[in-house]
Amino acid sequence: MSSSKRNSKKDKNQNNKNKGLFNSMLFKLLAASVIIGCVVLFVTTETDCMDKEAELAALQAQIDAYNMENAELQRTLDSDDLSAYMERIALEERDYAYPDERRFYDTSRD
Q: For residue 27, is pLDDT > 60?
A: yes
- What is the number of domains present in the chain? 1
Bigger pLDDT: 27 vs 21:
27
Domain membership flag for residue 107: no
Residue 110 lies in a domain: no
Instruction: Give residue-wise pLDDT tens across range 46-72.
Output: 999 999 999 999 999 999 999 999 998
CA dist 78 and 61 (Å) reads 26
40 vs 18, residue with greater confidence: 40
Whether 96 contacts 103, CB under 8 Å: no
Residue ranges making up the domain that contains 64: 2-92
In a domain, residue 69? The reply is yes
Asked whether residue 30 is assigned to any structural domain, the reply reads yes
Taking CA atoms, 24 is separated from 16, 34, 96, in Å, by 12, 15, 83
Q: Is residue 99 part of a domain?
A: no
Q: Has residue 79 been placed in a domain? A: yes
